[in-house]
Structure 1
Amino acid sequence: MRFFQFSGILACTTAAFISVAPIQVEAATFKVISGVTSIDHDHEDILRSIGLILTGSNNTVAPIPSNYLVGFNIEPASNFTFSDEGGFTPLSGTIENTGTVTFNNQITVGDFSIGFAPGRTVKDASGFVLRDTYSLNTILFDLSLPEPVVFDNQNLTIPDVKLLVSPEFANILQKPELTGLFAGTARIDAEVAAVPEPDSVLAVLAVGAALLATRFYTRKVKYT
């Protein structure tokens, strides 16, 4: 028996085994792929109290729940990952949002990016921040630790996250005393997808290699 024939038989056997007994891998890591970040009505009232009046919005969506103020689409460009082992455990990346809001017909902010910023010292902050990437390109709010997270392997809900005015935003407003001021709450309702573990990726590669070897063997037999 020639070597390529033996390799072909082995590949066929491997492919058949995989088709009969697929490898089951439980994914413990997930990635945010879409959804909505919503801001509540109190946010508008609190900002109005410090002189910021909402005068317009663009490319926003319906908030979740409907009695919130405004919603921002979560973009596929988001690369935020987390683990479900031992509860909700953020790992890396950011949640990218589209949509803008305008205050006083002068300041337009939006296309928000939510992620971790080490070294934040604002009281009660979690280290996560909401950054404007549309015009100011700075952190607008520090985020508090969320209320209990709801997760069912397909959808992630992070409710009642407090928005705390950042030192950067307070300085832009020329009111440094606003640093840490509670400015409303945000909520994230996201669809997620499992991130394959390395073992499952190797299993897929093994199947592909087996199928390629089978095809090679069939061609060899045909033309030998």
Structure 2
Amino acid sequence: MDQSIKHVWIIGASSGIGAALAKKYDQNGWRVTASARNAETLDDLASSGHKISSLVMDVQDAGAFDHAIAQFNQTGSLPDLVIFSAATYRPGGLDVLTHKDANNHMATNYLAAVGLIEAITPEFTKRGHGHLAIIASLSGYCGLPNAALYGPTKAALINLCETLKPDYDQLGLKLSLINPGFVKTPMTDKNSFSMPFLLSPEQAADKISTGLARGKFEIAFPWPLSISLKILQKMPYALYFKLTKRLAS
């Protein structure tokens, strides 16, 4: 293998932002390893590119990340950049909030990221460099209608990345937090409400890859929605709930 070619591992690459990122990095000359549960979808993705290979895995499997990293080490191909894009989503509030569904969302969206961090950080540290990027969401900035299952998992990811950034800096490693707004994917296709500033997966991939190349910690987009939610986050609750009530209607 040509060691001068950079290697990106994208987890959650079967559709949406993850698939668009795989194609983007492949077009940019990177070696791409695409992971997800659906082998057939990954094979289709791999056949569409030049240097895309598939690595089937279930992020809820506690040993999946260790197994994948062992494979990389055996071939001397530990990724330079790892992007965590795996997620599950069911819109709704009290009508969908159950312990079972909340546990599934937390296992896929948050605990899987923790498992990845636990597995990849020592490998990056031994090598002396590495870049980890975690895709959260602007919905993690504050509590929003129709996000009772999804929003708290993304808020947890944001808090986790903020917590770990100084540790990564001390180790000489890079950590990035990606907070997209609405992107047209199979997940957002479930929404019955208006989605302002809706982007295509390709537009999102462009913004993410550019931000990562610049070494940014937070990559948040689109900026009008990002700023609006940051302002909403700082508002007194009386005004905050008045505005979010309008969003729910």
Same fold (TM over 0.5): no
The structure showing larger relative contact order (alpha-carbon pairs under 8 Å, at least 6 residues apart) is 1
Which one has a larger percent strand, Structure 1 or Structure 2?
1
Which one has a larger percent helix, Structure 1 or Structure 2?
2
**TM-score (normalizing by structure 1):** 0.23
**Structure with the greater alpha carbon radius of gyration:** 1
